[in-house]
A and B are shown apart, each in its own frame.
Chain A
Amino acid sequence: MNPAVTETVNDSIFAHDHHLPGQKLPTDIPEDLLRKTPLNLPNASELDVLRHYTRLSQKNFSIDTQFYPLGSCTMKYNPRIAHALASLPGFARLHPDTPAPAMQGLLQVLWELQEWLAAATGMAAVSLTPAAGAQGELAGVAMIRAYHLARGDTGRNKMLIPTAAHGTNPASAQMAGFEVIEIPNLPDGDLDMAALDAHLGPDVAGIMLTNPSTLGVFERRIAEIARHVHAAGGLLYYDGANLNAILGRVQPGQMGFDVMHLNLHKTFATPHGGGGPGAGAVAVQERLRPFLPLPTVLQEPHGALRWMSIEDLPQSIGQLSAHGGNIGVLLRAHAYLRRLGRSGVGRVSAYAALNANYLLKELQRLGYQAAFPERRASHEFILSVSDLHKATGVRALDVAKRLLDFGIHAPTIYFPQLVPECLLIEPTETESKATLDRFVAVMAQIRQEALEQPELLREAPHHLPVGRLDEALAARKLDVSAAPE
């Protein structure tokens, strides 16, 4: 990035705005159905468009250009081969209503991915259709609801969720018609079993858990939790956001989970794309198979593959999008998994954990405070800069913004909310020791700066295309679209 260059250029595509003069329109569409307001979109030369968007791309941090230790998001390398293969014309030009015999190649890929994800998670069956983690959660809790209702167990309208859970968990449960009950965590990071037991009962449909939890530590009593929830007639939902921590080593199915989603854009290295598209495949134990969202891919006894319909799965919770989900993302996840294979998958969690624990130790050595110093880090860990805040007024936000000046994307900050002034750091397995060591050196310098010249941090970033933005003004005057020039 070179701010000196980007700042001198007029970066408004709207400078090319142009009203069309009245165009001769076809005569057989009635006049009252035709466009009345002239369409005003820029009419720029292709070269001007190319330059504009190339320059905009250069104002982004990305995995391909920067270390991106954004906790909970698993910003690992997105292999380019996966993009190349998903873009092959034989996939890219395939219309969704192509009859199954003419799309066996695609169906084969999807069917294999279903099988492999089931094997990797220790679950019985998979549906690939959810478009993102949150849609997978919605599908998952809807399956829990459908399961209870199908058994005539109609009183289970509550979903238990740890206080530290991702915001999507309560939002998804609410969208599926559940009342959300929050369960606190203990100071050591594990779930408060007494609080859990106090809430379990005939009105509880289930519990949604992430393991390792959002606190960056493994929920050690998971087997006991599963026993208690099952004994009370509830089911366990596994939020796959942190699956990278245990991939190839611990299976959610074996921990006692009944249903889960996987964030293929985290664990399976598909790109985050500036905010999607993701893919939130769901996996279930046998007793939830009848409720899977449609469509999924079925292999006929003679080997041919086809989409399953509602006739095949009459108790399905239904369809979540118009077609089969984010298939281009699924193709990428398949390529990644096929490239890694059995032994490669096992190494993912091992090196993700190694990088996280190494970074934690090195940062502790500099004086940074771990939120759970007695605990082993999973694939990520939480620091709290409360001590710096008290001593210098510098906040987690300021540390995050200063990191940007060094060409490092900030960790997740202020999540989970129960740890004050926290940074959630997830290096992922694809980063080298050299990159981690540079991060440690930068964090050492930032700590020094915080103690000696805290205003340097409070006013950061200094070297980006813009400084801290007036977000209050943004909400107040709410300019969310450009008026035609």
Chain B
Amino acid sequence: MPYIPHDAEETAAMLAAVGVNSLDALFDEIPSSLQVHDMVLPEGLSEMALRRELEGRALANAPLVCFAGGGAYAHHIPAIVWEIAARGEFYSAYTPYQPEASQGTLQVLYEYQSFITRLTGLEVSNASLYDGASGLAEACLMALRIQGSEKSILVPENLLPSWRSVLDTVLGMQNIRLQAVPYDPNSGTLQIPGDASDAAALIVPQINAFGLLESVDKLTDWAHAQGLLTIAVVNPLALAMLKAPGDWGGKGADMAVGEGQPMGIPLTGGGPYFGFLACRKTHVRQLPGRLVAKTVDAQGRTGYCLTLQAREQHIRRGKATSNICTNQGLMVTAATIHMATLGSHGLQETASCCHTRSRQLRELLAALPGVSFPYAGAFFHEWVLRLPMSATAVRDALLGHGLLAGIPLREWEMGEPGDLLVCTTELLEEADLLTYRDALKSVLEAQ
């Protein structure tokens, strides 16, 4: 019996100790009309047969060189990251409710919180949320609690559309209005919003959905002048190079939220990733999710424990700051090891390499006839390429060359039919860039 250790003799002895004569008798309080004895499931497989079947499924996903980003990025993950994160002591532990028996997980979370505060330039980070998009929804709810009477959030139209969808789902349940902030169609970057009436916060995506960098100082200062909070949406790797949200404008952004996946998390078709959320210390009591603090035991030894749990659902129930319980602990463990392994040197080198590759590819493609770049502004590692034909058709044709060429913006209902969002990371070598150029050239010439 897979994973059930009892033999017939033990089962009989245990049934006798309970005082029943069959396993079925253990369910004698359940009306028999509710009990079923078969269901439409396939028969089980041996581990060997299971491996063969799933290896086949894995191979059915074509291996592609990845030039797609849009909120999920292909990066190198040092071997030690998952070698350690997958150790049973991390992998098969639970939420550290018993701190004395969970100092490993707790200290990792404290280090993680520290690393996130240093990347974002803010004072407090929680111990993770589900992903970047749901983390942004939590940040919006937090801003509304801090501000009290306001009932809307200013949401840029160049925020990743999947993130906007999550805001619609989560904030819509509480009838919170999302006011659109338009972008300048020529530059692809945000215009200063005209109106802030009844808004609690302005979301500022640094990097926006087109891969462009926004004038974060100006936007932050404007928001603060209107009495709004600023919620920075950031890529943690890019923060090795870009201004920390805590330094935006005169006073700094009030919250920073983002998708943690670039920090050591495999793509795996879209998850599990993790969302990070950092804020000012003054707002800590409105923070959702777990938070770890350093303290001491009776002998003065340093230790770590969950803190301010009165914010959370298991204490405050219906009045909690969020319903979140299980978060993305193991992903955060991996991310912490990843950040510690790369260090500030490694993260800055990686960021710089992503950026350089991106500039190189753009230069290579600029020489192709018929292609253009609709937005001229500064970027980190992602930009929009405008093709003289359907970007979806080009993307599909390049699959045959072993390339995932990017994301057609029309799939997001943005941009022109020829717009393809192209991302490069340190994983790509110069030869890959040349392959991309040549393959794209041949697809365009075949037109």
Contact = CB atoms under 8 A, between A and B. Distances in A.
Interface stretch (A83-91, A193-201, A449-457): A83-91
Interface string B326-369: 11111101001101111111111000100110010000000000
Nearest to A94: B269
Interface string A98-122: 1101111110110000001001101
Contacts of A26: 241, 352, 355-356, 359
Top 9 closest pairs, chain A to chain B, by CB: A341-B44, A323-B270, A64-B88, A90-B58, A273-B330, A105-B60, A275-B329, A318-B169, A96-B270
Given A81-B51, A273-B91, A354-B23, A94 B44 contact: no
Contact of B323 (A78, A171, A470): A171
Interface string B162-191: 110110111011110000000000000000
A171 B317 contact: yes
Contact of A11 (B107, B271, B274): B107
B326 A278 contact: yes
Contacts of B5: 430-433
Contact of B318 (A56, A170, A355): A170
A324 B269 contact: yes
B88 A44 contact: no
B443 to A, nearest CB: 15
Q: In the complex, which of the residues B40, B215, B272, B359 has the most CB atoms of chain A within 10 Å of its own CB atom?
A: B272
A91 B268 contact: yes
B266 A251 contact: no
Contacts of A119: 39-41
B4 A430 contact: yes
A175 B323 CA distance: 7
B297 A347 contact: no
15 contacts: A20-B348, A60-B90, A78-B91, A89-B63, A105-B57, A250-B35, A250-B36, A318-B166, A322-B134, A322-B270, A323-B273, A351-B6, A430-B3, A433-B6, A481-B118
A133 to B, nearest CB: 6
Contacts of A177: 173-175
A110 to B, nearest CB: 9
Contacts of B121: 37
B44 A344 contact: yes
Interface string A339-358: 11111111111110111011
Name the interface size band of chain B: 35 or more
B130 A60 contact: no
Contacts of B295: 469-471, 473-474, 477, 479
A399 interface: no
Contacts of A464: 100-101, 103
Given A40-B118, A83-B86, A469 B305 contact: yes
Interface in A48-71: 49-50, 52-54, 56-66, 68, 70
Given A62-B89, A274-B93, A36 B326 contact: no
Contacts of A289: none
A351 B216 CA distance: 58
Given A133-B326, A342-B42, A323 B241 contact: no
B35 A249 contact: yes
A465 B100 contact: yes
A20 B17 contact: no
B2 interface: yes
Nearest to B241: A35
A471 to B, nearest CB: 5
Interface in B262-314: 266-274, 281, 284, 290-299, 301-305, 307-308, 312-314
A482 B294 CA distance: 9
A481 B130 contact: no
A19 B331 CA distance: 26
Nearest to B99: A469
Nearest to B340: A49
Contact of A250 (B34, B66, B303): B34
A28 interface: yes
B268 A94 contact: yes
Interface in A168-184: 168, 170-177, 180
A362 B319 CA distance: 40
A39 B124 CA distance: 16
Contacts of B343: 16, 18, 41-44
A102 B347 contact: no
B55 interface: yes
Nearest to B267: A95
Given A61-B102, A102-B399, A105-B57, A466 B303 contact: yes
B132 interface: yes
Nearest to A39: B344
A76 interface: yes
Given A250-B35, A468-B297, A96 B267 contact: yes
B428 to A, nearest CB: 13
B72 interface: yes
B226 interface: no
A215 interface: no
B19 A361 contact: yes
B92 A339 contact: no
Contact of A272 (B94, B103, B170, B294): B94
A120 B40 CA distance: 8
A45 to B, nearest CB: 10
Contacts of A348: 4
B213 A318 contact: no
Given A98-B61, A481-B125, 12 more contacts: A33-B243, A40-B344, A65-B89, A95-B66, A339-B50, A342-B42, A354-B11, A361-B18, A429-B4, A471-B305, A473-B296, A475-B308
A474 B307 contact: yes
A275 B102 CA distance: 11
A331 B40 CA distance: 20
A86 B355 CA distance: 31
Contact of B44 (A63, A120, A343, A361): A343
Contact of B89 (A64, A104, A325): A64
Given A251-B36, A271-B92, A338 B340 contact: no
A194 to B, nearest CB: 21
Contacts of A323: 71-72, 131, 162, 269-271, 273
Q: In the complex, which of the residues B3, B47, B103, B216 has the most CB atoms of chain A within 10 Å of its own CB atom?
A: B3
B123 A481 contact: yes
Given A79-B3, A324-B270, A273 B329 contact: yes
A400 B175 CA distance: 44
Contacts of B8: none
B407 interface: yes
Given A134-B313, A341-B41, A322 B131 contact: yes
B172 A318 contact: yes
Given A88-B54, A132-B327, A353 B27 contact: yes
A306 interface: no
Nearest to A326: B272
A239 B321 CA distance: 21
Given A26-B355, A90-B60, A339 B44 contact: yes
A11 B58 CA distance: 39
B80 interface: yes
Interface stretch (A135-143, A228-236, A382-390): A135-143
Nearest to A137: B323
B217 interface: yes
Contact of B132 (A57, A322, A470, A478): A322
A362 B19 CA distance: 12
B31 interface: yes
A222 interface: yes
